[in-house]
């Protein structure tokens, strides 16, 4: 649709841009969508949802799940992060934009398999480590996350075939699926006081993560783990203070972190 | 790979056929794969797993989940039913075989969205209604299933645009995703003594189901709800009798049902 260029976030009275994302910066699922758009060089407008409330546009665009991210392309909404990433890959398939999914059907199926595995295993464990105070449950979540990362270490070796990314020479579907969650995995390491990325166990994943987070399509949209840690801690305090009631703009909240 | 023809199930000493499915006939996820292969006119060999045990080939082919279905194409395994269905669509994309996913990226994303919704909502509810004896939990599952079917009724109207199937003139991805589960939804209606397909609430889905189950790609592979009901009841008795221990061949079990 558009030539590679930096994304724009504008709040002017111009007509709505072709691509809008209903998002919330700390969401790992929103990160996936933004990385995919950056990778394709698609300009977009990010509309930040406010903490503790849901916009009219979000409710109308994703009436089933009422969750971010939603991608609006010429006003037509698509929901669910991995589905959006595939959609982006299909809509911006030409003009020299890098492919997100590999061409070979078997390789595509393998990447879809691992992406589904990631979504089955990692977000539930993050949720437990971020919020649950029961030691037994936390221990279980740490065990599951460690096992998951070890399987992904093996998957990386097979998929990358000695190259830099799951996708080979450039980041692809599985890089985006796992990479979007990277900040939160690092954040729960700090919050729960555990070590998940152990050099002895997942050396290739650690190197991959170091490359992923400084990739041009990633570096501006990946939220730093320290920010997520602060946000989690302030969130808890804030929500308690507000008795879980009043809406608070994430923008204001984020300002408080600096 | 092959011209349209009927599938073959052979147990001869010939070299392994190009397409093999590790399956278990009552599994709704296996049904999806078989319908997709039939639709494409792909010959396959179905290798039935035995009840209460897992074959060496299954454990080797799907070491992460250890579950059917697995599709083996020239020996290379693919797991997870919806991923297999997409894989089939991509591998057998030409030679006049009908497309499973629509061509338009937006339409594809919409079908993927609903398929994911189906997998989030329907199998867990079926599991509860098939096995849990707590009235409160059953009531909740019935409520969730009814809501899900009503959303799918609306989705059908939008996707089919007045035609016979979610996929339009022929069955497609979403028909396969929901249709594979159809027998089990009817079975739990009987097992739990509830009405899920109500004419007043989901008239279009009821008509769709009547067409789906007699479609040439479906009629030979869809397991009848009465069989599933009998199987569930006999399963419970049988597994209790065997103290959940000994492996029992599904073939023998199935013979007992007639």
Q: Residue A72: in which H helix or E strand, if any?
A: strand A70-73
Nearest residue of B to residue A73, measured between CA atoms: B106
Question: Do B74 and B58 touch, CB atoms closer than 8 A?
Answer: no
**Contact flag B112-A80 (C-beta cutoff 8 Å):** yes
Q: Which of A59-68, A111-120, B21-30, B249-258 has the lowest mean pLDDT?
A: B249-258
Nearest to A31 by CA among A185, A189, A201: A185
Assign A222 to helix, strand or coil.
coil
Can you give the pLDDT at residue B13?
55
Is A64 in the B-facing interface, judged by CB distances under 8 Å? yes
Q: For residue A80, what is the nearest residue in chain B, using CA coordinates?
A: B113
CB of B117 within 8 Å of a chain A CB? The answer is: yes
CA dihedral over A75, A76, A82, A85, signed as positive or negative:
negative
CATH superfamily of A19-91: Glutaredoxin (3.40.30.10)
Instruction: Parse chain B into domains and list their residue ranges.
Output: 19-91, 105-223, 226-257
Residue A10 CB contacts under 8 Å (≥ 6 apart), including other chains: A17, A45
**Distance set, CA A26 to CA A49, A172, A215, A216, B221 (Å):** 11, 21, 19, 19, 46
A76 vs B106: CB contact, 8 Å cut-off? yes
Residue B94 DSSP code: -
Residues written for chain A: 258
For residue A161, what are its two tokens?
């075939």
Q: Supply the pTM of this predicted model.
A: 0.88
Q: Which residues contact B237 (CB under 8 A, 6 or more apart)?
A: none
Flag whether pLDDT at A2 surpasses 50: no
The model's pLDDT over A207-222, given as tens digits with 9 standing for 90+, comes to 999 999 999 999 999 9
Q: Are B80 and A112 a contacting pair at CB < 8 A?
A: yes
Q: Does B239 touch chain A (CB under 8 A)?
A: no
Query: Is pLDDT at A249 greater than 80 in this prediction?
Result: no
3-state percent helix, strand, coil for chain B, nearest multiple of 5: 55, 10, 40
Classify domain A105-223 at the CATH class level.
Answer: mainly alpha
- Cα(A212)–Cα(A222) distance, rounded to whole angstroms? 10
Q: Which residue is closest to B110 within chain A, CA to CA?
A: A78
- Is the pLDDT at B247 greater than 80? The verdict is no
Q: Is A62 on the interface with B (CB under 8 A)?
A: no
Residue A95: which pLDDT band, with cuts at 50, 70 and 90? confident
In this structure, are residues B121 and B148 in contact, taking their beta carbons and an 8 Å threshold? yes
Q: Is the peptide bond before B69 cis (omega within 30 degrees of 0)?
A: yes
Q: Does A90 touch chain B (CB under 8 A)?
A: yes
* ipTM of the complex in this document: 0.87
């Amino acid at each position: 649709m558009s030539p590679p260029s930096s994304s724009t976030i504008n709040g002017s009275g111009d007509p709505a841009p072709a691509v809008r994302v209903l998002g919330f910066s700390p969401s790992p699922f929103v990160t996936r969508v933004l990385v995919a758009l950056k990778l394709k060089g698609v300009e977009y407008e990010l509309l930040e949802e406010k903490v503790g409330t849901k916009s009219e546009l979000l409710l109308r665009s994703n009436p089933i799940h009422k969750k971010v991210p939603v991608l609006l392309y010429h006003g037509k909404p698509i929901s669910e992060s991995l589905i959006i990433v595939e959609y982006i890959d299909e809509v911006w398939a030409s003009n020299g934009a890098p492919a997100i999914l590999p061409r070979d059907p078997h390789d595509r199926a393998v990447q879809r398999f691992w992406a589904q595995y990631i979504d089955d295993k990692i977000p539930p464990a993050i949720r437990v480590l971020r919020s649950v105070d029961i030691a037994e449950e936390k221990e279980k979540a740490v065990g599951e996350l460690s096992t998951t990362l070890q399987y992904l270490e093996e998957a990386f070796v097979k998929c990358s075939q000695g190259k830099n990314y799951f996708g080979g020479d450039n980041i692809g579907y599985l890089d985006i699926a796992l990479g979007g969650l990277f900040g939160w995995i690092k954040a729960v390491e700090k919050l729960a006081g555990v070590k998940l990325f152990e050099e002895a166990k997942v050396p290739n994943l650690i190197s991959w993560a170091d490359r992923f987070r400084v990739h041009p399509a990633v570096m501006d949209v990946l939220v730093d783990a320290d920010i997520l840690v602060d946000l989690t801690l302030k969130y808890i305090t804030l929500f308690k203070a507000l008795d879980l009631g009043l809406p608070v703009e994430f923008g204001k909240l984020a300002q408080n972190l600096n």
